[in-house]
Structure 1
């Protein structure tokens, strides 16, 4: 079971190999859960708009273009000054805007650039043995899935702009498999956000400096995607 299957790599491999699939949703009826065809199940996102508080302010100026905060953006040496600004923005959000403590703060970026961005107070990441019953880390991978260990986190920062690896995209294109990069990006963002307290119906504060990623999230909350 997953969410936004249409935007995930698994779906593209299914299409590549001609594997058929149908869509179902889990619905509670009479005290038990049943599967129903997805199109018959309306999705209520209104309550999530009240829970996910997206930061809107000057700290977002670092991500105004479509490619800002993408992996290539971080790799470009001409953006080193902007990377430093992002470091300052993230620390400002953590320390001044939200005044969060490490135990409720969760953030992510491309792993290769973590050390360039991390600031004092939120460096810790998941141990390799992954045995902690409650997630003590502040940093996790942006594609983190299938864990409830971070459901106590209420202040979040998603500091990247997700695109498919260009070699992977070219591979699928050569085999006539159409990739929706916006849906792929949104899927990863939602999966990551729903590791946090919002999964229990509790409010989150969320910093998404990439305008593209932020816009996708707002459109999803408004049921425009």
Structure 2
């Protein structure tokens, strides 16, 4: 059974998990967190060990599981378990419970291929594509050094073809089958790719929330009214860029003139907040491919690569003193993943009047995770610049 604990950031999900672990002495746990600092925090709070790396962490983890020890690991180490069939078998035998602090970032992910790649690989006898399901079977050698991402997706998980120009990979479902039960701590669970992943494989899933630190079957509250006095969204007219699109495809094709307008707008925002935030107290993001286009270009720029944080970042507390932040992108689900869902009969709900669509809620949840790297996680106010009109609307509606 998979249970999502769905509650807004700062509502006590990790405290709940720590109490659950420390009060369940006869249960074997694996706690998986995103960052090493969070692993350390859980390790100390629960009195549980972390795998050591004298030889390799995966070998140490395997030995600890053989002995039936509870342990705290990173998401990355958890994913590496899926490649170890013997270790998965031992997990199942020992009836471990997995506590996952935050959803895995890419349980379903696009594979980098060019047009006609799949057709070429088929003709070469390296893959076979199931006619009705689109599942790709790898027929080549495991050591084949070309198309490594596709090869590994097929061998370590699953891969599915769309048309000739895209394919998606899925992490190995056996990883989740190996646990007696799974608890996932997150916010806006039903809009996450991980929830859709479990839906795809028909895993039994439930969603609960927290009230006064305890589980309740009430519906999660998708409102940020309690934070509206902590987030000031920049509204300076000269920084409104309603004619500039900031989706991934748009920024990759953006000309130098438009990119300079975005860069100047971000610089202007940070300049206006110079007295509130030194450079180390500023944070910005965009799609990584556009980072160079938008970076500050002065001799002593107000922002650059040193205070850039990837828009996919979760879990880290390294930026909790940030006062001013710029979120310079318009987040959309990868079109290949959307097509894959449609082929499998899985979809996000459509927009209904003022109610955002499921894909918009996914975009909002991703944005909130990034924002919560700043000092708002300490319930301290921040200044925020959001040049994308769509992302600004989603956030503003959430705050009201």
TM-superposed CA distance for 1:216, in Å, is 0.3
Match of 1:23, SS? strand
Match of 2:326, SS? strand
CA RMSD across the alignment:
1.8
Match of residue 69, structure 1, among 228, 246, 250 = 246
Match of residue 374, structure 2, among 181, 196, 204 = 196
TM-superposed CA distance for 1:177, in Å, is 0.9
1:107 aligns with 2:276: no
Structure 1: distance between partners of 2:228 and 2:315: 23
Name 2:269's counterpart in structure 1.
Answer: 93
Greater shift in the superposed pair: 103-112 or 11-20:
11-20
Structure 2: distance between partners of 1:54 and 1:64: 19
| Residues 1:42 and 1:14: Cα distance change in structure 2 (over 3 Å) | closer
Structure 1: distance between partners of 2:243 and 2:234: 14
Match of 2:392, SS? helix
Name 1:161's counterpart in structure 2.
Answer: 330
Higher strand share: 2
TM-superposed CA distance for 1:60, in Å, is 4.0
| Residues 1:17 and 1:181: Cα distance change in structure 2 (over 3 Å) | same
Match of residue 20, structure 1, among 204, 221, 228 = 204
| Residues 1:64 and 1:20: Cα distance change in structure 2 (over 3 Å) | farther
Structure 2: distance between partners of 1:169 and 1:53: 33
1:218 aligns with 2:396: yes
Name 1:134's counterpart in structure 2.
Answer: none
Structure 1: distance between partners of 2:314 and 2:200: 24
* Native 8 Å contact 2:270 2:302 kept in 1: no
Unaligned runs of 5+ in 2: 1-184, 349-357
Name 1:5's counterpart in structure 2.
Answer: 189
Name 2:63's counterpart in structure 1.
Answer: none
Name 2:215's counterpart in structure 1.
Answer: 35
Extract structure 1 runs of 4+ deviating beyond 4 A.
Answer: 41-44
TM-superposed CA distance for 1:154, in Å, is 1.2
TM-superposed CA distance for 1:47, in Å, is 2.8
1:48 aligns with 2:227: yes
Give the paired residue count.
Answer: 201
Match of 2:384, SS? strand
TM-superposed CA distance for 1:20, in Å, is 2.4
1:152 aligns with 2:321: yes
Higher helix share: 1
| Residues 1:219 and 1:44: Cα distance change in structure 2 (over 3 Å) | closer
Structure 2: distance between partners of 1:12 and 1:44: 22
Name 1:178's counterpart in structure 2.
Answer: 347
Unaligned runs of 5+ in 1: 126-137
Structure 2: distance between partners of 1:64 and 1:102: 29
* Native 8 Å contact 1:71 1:161 kept in 2: yes
TM-superposed CA distance for 1:64, in Å, is 4.7
Output one character per residue of 1:137-178: Cα deviation in whole Å (capped at 9) or x when no partner.
x11011110122211111010000001111111111111111
Output one character per residue of 1:47-82: Cα deviation in whole Å (capped at 9) or x when no partner.
3111111111224432357xx1001111225x4321
Match of residue 80, structure 1, among 223, 232, 256 = 256
TM-superposed CA distance for 1:124, in Å, is 3.7
- TM (norm. structure 2) is 0.48
